[in-house]
Structure 1
Amino acid sequence: MTARSVEHRLTDRYRTVDVPVAGGSLRVGVWDALDADGAPVPEAPTALLVHGVTASHRSWQLVADRLPRVRLVAPDLRGRGRSHPESPGQRPAGMAQHADDLVRVLDHLDVDRTLLVGHSMGGFVGVVMADRHPDRVSRLLLVDGGLPLAVPDGLTADEVISYVLGPTAERLAMRFAGVEDYYDFWRRHPAFAHDWSPALEDYLAYDLVGEEPELRPATSYDVMSCDTVDLNTGTALAGALGRLRHPTLLLTAPRGLLDESPGLYEADRLAAMLEGFDLIDSREVADVNHYTITMGERGATAIAAAVEGELAAS
């Protein structure tokens, strides 16, 4: 199946809307809830899905496939996908700006309160949003993100980016002659050696902007840089975690961005961190890495089950 046919398959319940925010708009993917007969379910529960640092809302497709009875709202964060508003201040983004953008999304779609599901950087955004706007979040589901990463002290901004993201950031400067070239780049990436899928191809095709033969990833390096530094060395996250008041479930991957072990949250270090958080439960998703915990079949199945459990608990 090609990326084009995946796009066609999405149209039954999937749509996009553009939501006004400071400086422009955000592109937001919405998967409407359907009943067993394929009819819309207006009273269905809603989950807000927040993607990672260089991703887009399309990274949630496999999860959406497994949650037909849940209304899913997933924005392209500022500086990613089709969301490139002008910066409203001196800094191009940061956790607080993304958190406030998410409130605009909820307002636009008449969502009063929601389960917030955040992968990677989306988990950090979720923690800050829950702190800044506590009445808009019922519970937090953090997916391999949201708690501090093991980053050495004293690194410059570029060194933090290189240490945390490595090739993920480097590809933002690359150019690709066509979509197939971009597929080939990711086929060589160790994270997807065993988890290639049509949904992944759709996500990757959506990630490219520009014209052949100069296609490029959609993520803004400047926004990504600001965000990476903010979530690792800024004050918004530390303060939000210190005031955490929402029940939180953290799902972790045993392998990292390059499919290496351990993953971002090594077991002993994570256990030590969690001693200070009574509201956070944690469990590991078996046999996934930082990417495939959302964009692989096993990971998507585990996240969907966790979403259903957290919605029931709400």
Structure 2
Amino acid sequence: MSYNVEDVDGLRVATFGSGPRVIIAVHGITASLMAWGAVAQRLPEGWSLVALDLRGRGHSAALPGPYGLPRHAGDVLRVADHIGAGPDVVLTGHSMGAYVAVLAAARRDFARVVLVDGGLPFPPLAEGTDAEEALEATLGPALARLRQTFPSAEAYVDFFKAHPAFAGHWTADVEAYVRYDLTGPEGALRSRVAGEAVLQDGRWMYLESERIATALASIKAPLSLLRAPRGLLNQDVGLLPDELVLPWAARLPGLTDEMVPDCNHYTVLFDDRCAATVANRLTCP
């Protein structure tokens, strides 16, 4: 699917579609705006999706820190102002992007907020575990690739094809997402993602649970959560298991919680049926 790109104060912003009804979409911690390509293709007529590369990622990688989720939320709101977003705009985020969406929605009203496999505060870290250890344990291969170089684009694609989440789930949309992330000279290609951005953002996400909880409870817009039943490495336990979600569902009676069947943390945005479900929930209140 084609898209139009522009620069907003150094942020790469892409608009998929041309409909008057708008969704602003925020990607995850080591991702890019191309994470939303498959969902954008499945939007009904009359809708468009605006996605940005967060600073430290994609074609916004050169933007300086400090990073941290409040900084990203401010960037999202600047993009919203740039496109003239009114209260009828839908805000969504996936993974870390869902936490960014929570912080942004606490500062500005949206028509509704849709959190995709993220956005609820993590429990306190186990004693003796620091935030970087927790991040390494959670992200696994996603962090490993930031420390590697690759001899060719094909080698980078093969690295992703071996990822447990994508094995058996490879699509043209996943490949476009992977290739978009590459930079550097042939023979020493690497991810565009700035490692320091990931570390700062990960620390903030794990250590500032109270700030996330306060922001979440203050959102006035209708709030939906879409969960994947399987995790980042396609393991049987998802990122947001019932024991984490149910107390929040009780605390926030307006929160709609839905498990999207037969997907993992990544394929919820890429597999045809799952991406269509996300697109439907974004456009059908």
TM-score with structure 1 length normalisation? Answer: 0.85
Distance 2:53 2:236 in 1: 29
Find the counterpart in structure 2 of residue 27 from structure 1: 12
Pairing partner for 1:240 from 192, 215, 222 = 215
How far apart are residue 236 of structure 1 and its match?
3.1
Find the counterpart in structure 2 of residue 73 from structure 1: 50
Distance 2:170 2:142 in 1: 18
Distance 1:166 1:107 in 2: 36
User: The residue matched to 1:192 in structure 2 has which SS?
Assistant: coil
User: The residue matched to 1:82 in structure 2 has which SS?
Assistant: helix
Distance 1:216 1:254 in 2: 31
- Aligned Cα RMSD in Å? 1.5
User: The residue matched to 1:183 in structure 2 has which SS?
Assistant: helix
Percent of paired sites with the same residue: 38
Return structure 1 stretches of 4+ with deviation > 6 angstroms: none
Gap regions ≥5 residues in structure 1: 1-9, 34-40
Residue 223 (str. 1) matches residue 188 (str. 2): no
Distance 1:122 1:149 in 2: 14
Residue 185 (str. 1) matches residue 174 (str. 2): no
How far apart are residue 92 of structure 1 and its match?
2.0
Decide whether the 8 Å contact of 1:92 with 1:222 is kept in 2.
Answer: no
How far apart are residue 157 of structure 1 and its match?
3.2
Distance 1:231 1:168 in 2: 17
Instruction: Summarize deviations over 1:143-188 as a string: whole Å, max 9, x none.
Output: 0000023563342232121132122112110111111101111111
Q: Give the AA of the match of 2:223.
A: T
Instruction: Summarize deviations over 1:106-147 as a string: whole Å, max 9, x none.
Output: 122222232101100110000000112x23x22110000000
Distance 2:162 2:212 in 1: 34
Distance 1:156 1:149 in 2: 13
Alignment of 1:94-133 (within 5 A): 94-113=68-87, 114-132=89-107
Distance 1:94 1:163 in 2: 20
- Distance change (3 Å), C-alpha of 1:29 and 1:201: same
Instruction: Summarize deviations over 1:195-243 as a string: whole Å, max 9, x none.
Output: 1111111110001111111111111111111111111212531321232
Gap regions ≥5 residues in structure 2: none
Decide whether the 8 Å contact of 1:288 with 1:298 is kept in 2.
Answer: no
- Distance change (3 Å), C-alpha of 1:150 and 1:212: farther
Distance 2:228 2:92 in 1: 15
User: The residue matched to 1:258 in structure 2 has which SS?
Assistant: coil
- Distance change (3 Å), C-alpha of 1:150 and 1:171: farther
Residue 275 (str. 1) matches residue 250 (str. 2): yes
Find the counterpart in structure 2 of residue 64 from structure 1: 40
TM-score with structure 2 length normalisation? Answer: 0.94
Decide whether the 8 Å contact of 2:67 with 2:201 is kept in 1.
Answer: yes
Q: Give the AA of the match of 2:84.
A: D
Across the two proteins, how many residue pairs are aligned to each other? 281
Find the counterpart in structure 1 of residue 274 from structure 2: 299
Distance 1:92 1:227 in 2: 10
Pairing partner for 1:165 from 139, 163, 166 = 139
Decide whether the 8 Å contact of 1:26 with 1:77 is kept in 2.
Answer: yes
User: The residue matched to 2:31 in structure 1 has which SS?
Assistant: coil
Residue 308 (str. 1) matches residue 283 (str. 2): yes
Q: Give the AA of the match of 2:55.
A: R
Alignment of 1:2-41 (within 5 A): 10-11=1-2, 14-20=3-9, 25-33=10-18, 41=19
Pairing partner for 1:52 from 28, 46, 62 = 28
Q: Give the AA of the match of 2:261.
A: A
Instruction: Summarize deviations over 1:282-310 as a string: whole Å, max 9, x none.
Output: 01000000000002212201101101213
Pairing partner for 1:284 from 256, 259, 277 = 259
Distance 1:168 1:300 in 2: 21
Decide whether the 8 Å contact of 2:54 with 2:72 is kept in 1.
Answer: yes
